[in-house]
Chains A and B, each alone.
Chain A
């Protein structure tokens, strides 16, 4: 397993005819293998931008993202181009992210499944691209269908599934590639409250079983607290990390009932603290917008 190191990332979007947007300003972060980190922040603070840079869809204005093996003592190498880091991972100790690659899996909010394929074939997409044998793929797919609780739905086209089931497929599709890091951008954002709670349990369970490094962006403070072993709160203009927390709730969620955890006094206290922090940020943004007008 590899550690993910985000080194002094800045991102400036230059918009023709407008002021440049400082979407990220000197953001640094280190994730140990197997860490589960949630990211909160008001709209427009650069969460998606940060995730897209880690995924390799955007190249930052400054700074770099490095994946490296903490056990190895060799040097790190920089990955520079879509897919270029594939294969290299196996024989180098570290690589700089410069494009998308199969070792960083993505789970999007919705609409990123391939609706022309069945559930099985969506999950098999990654292994197929990697040229795995169909026998191997079959084993992987069957195992994952069971893991996410869709064993009877393999042959169904994905568009016949409910939103929650579709996100289960998205999780399974991502896991099928056995990525080093899983990046999720509001994966449960489009689900109803009940389905969302169930899916939070599934995310925790998958994290526990696979011990993957996971970064999860969410707009729900409760979800961020419950799923984040680490939680960072970002602030806008320029986008930066405002606070970081280490939280016990994700670990507790593995054994205790989620409802109880979410109702416990320390959970509620943290929730109120973060809510008021974000609330103040939003007020400030509104104030600035008011001044500008």
Chain B
């Protein structure tokens, strides 16, 4: 009866019914593509969390110092949006963090991409930089914060330097991988078509490396977003990380929670944006 009917589009989208192709499959367990999105359950789990939050705080099961009430959070979001936090608008806190990340990634890429190319194409550069890169690569950028504070203090330059360093090694490795991924037959074809070394570099190796470079940029954005928040927790008077650190000192748990949610949302937005950009800018990815 109902199992014979076509499932409605909504049920399929929510992942509560198999789509018409999956319905024809007899082997489902073990076939990862036969696992539905499960969005319906996602909605339920989010709603359950919010209801639990509301009930637990409204019934005063939890001390608001540890976890704020839902209504208090909504009030505070309105206030933050209107009045800002400590004389700085909420948007400015967010923007300064995003701006630090963008500058760090841009500087890291400007230095890292040429270095990675040089390492992929030239044995002298490979020899010189390989040990340095391999040594610094496993060090988490946060471990460098004390050293950077010693060198540069806690001003803007120190933060962007840290982020540039964090993205530098990611970009070096991505660019080098991009160079190494070129098929020799493409390079041979270009030379046979009369290209010079410079033309091979700019018209074959560079575009061929773009997908890898873009993956590097995406990773660098993610890592830098994590790093900037941590760096702001340590030392800053502006930025989303500093906002939650200062709020903690005043036991404003609601602001702390709002800050955490904003950090999560922006990290997510960066990832989505980069994926969209990638689809737009590098449609040939993986199709060579």
Contact = CB atoms under 8 A, between A and B. Distances in A.
A174 B282 CA distance: 25
Interface in B237-288: 282-284, 287-288
Given A55-B188, A112-B186, A126 B193 contact: yes
Interface string A59-100: 000000000000000000000001100100000000000011
B196 A83 contact: yes
Interface string B21-57: 0000000000000000000000000000000000000
B8 interface: no
Nearest to B288: A115
Contacts of A55: 188, 192
Given A157-B284, A159-B284, A159-B287, A116 B191 contact: no
Interface in B168-190: 183, 185-186, 188-190
Interface residues on A, range: 20 to 34
A112 B185 contact: yes
Contacts of B194: 83, 86, 101-102, 126, 129-130, 177
A106 B192 contact: yes
B210 A116 contact: yes
Task: Give chain B's interface secondary structure class.
Answer: helix
A57 interface: yes
B191 A82 contact: yes
A182 to B, nearest CB: 10
B121 to A, nearest CB: 15
B188 A106 contact: yes
Contacts of B199: 129
A267 interface: no
B15 interface: no
A174 B197 CA distance: 19
Contacts of B189: 106, 108, 112-113, 173
Contact of A102 (B186, B193, B210): B193
Interface string B189-208: 11111111101000110011
B192 to A, nearest CB: 4
Contacts of B204: 114
Interface in A152-196: 157, 159, 173-174, 177
A159 B207 CA distance: 15
Contact of A57 (B188, B207, B208, B282): B188
Given A112-B183, A112-B185, A129-B199, A100 B210 contact: no
A116 B284 contact: yes
A113 B287 CA distance: 11
Contacts of B207: 114, 116
Interface in A99-134: 99-102, 104-106, 108-109, 111-116, 125-126, 129-130
Interface in A27-71: 55-57
Contact of B185 (A82, A108, A125): A108
B183 A111 contact: yes
A8 B283 CA distance: 47
Contact of B188 (A112, A130, A173, A174): A112
A111 B235 CA distance: 51
A292 B189 CA distance: 39
A116 B286 CA distance: 11
Contacts of A130: 194
A57 B191 CA distance: 9
A55 B192 CA distance: 8
Contacts of B191: 56-57, 82-83, 99-100
A129 B183 CA distance: 20
A68 B172 CA distance: 46
A177 B284 CA distance: 25
Interface of B: 183, 185-186, 188-197, 199, 203-204, 207-208, 210, 282-284, 287-288
Given A111-B288, A116-B282, 9 more contacts: A57-B188, A100-B191, A100-B192, A108-B185, A112-B183, A126-B194, A130-B194, A157-B283, A174-B192
Interface of A: 55-57, 82-83, 86, 99-102, 104-106, 108-109, 111-116, 125-126, 129-130, 157, 159, 173-174, 177
9 tightest Cβ-Cβ pairs between the two chains A and B: A102-B194, A159-B287, A100-B191, A126-B193, A112-B185, A116-B207, A129-B194, A115-B284, A106-B192
17 contacts: A57-B188, A57-B191, A82-B191, A83-B196, A86-B194, A102-B193, A105-B193, A106-B189, A108-B189, A112-B185, A112-B189, A116-B208, A116-B284, A125-B193, A125-B203, A157-B283, A174-B193
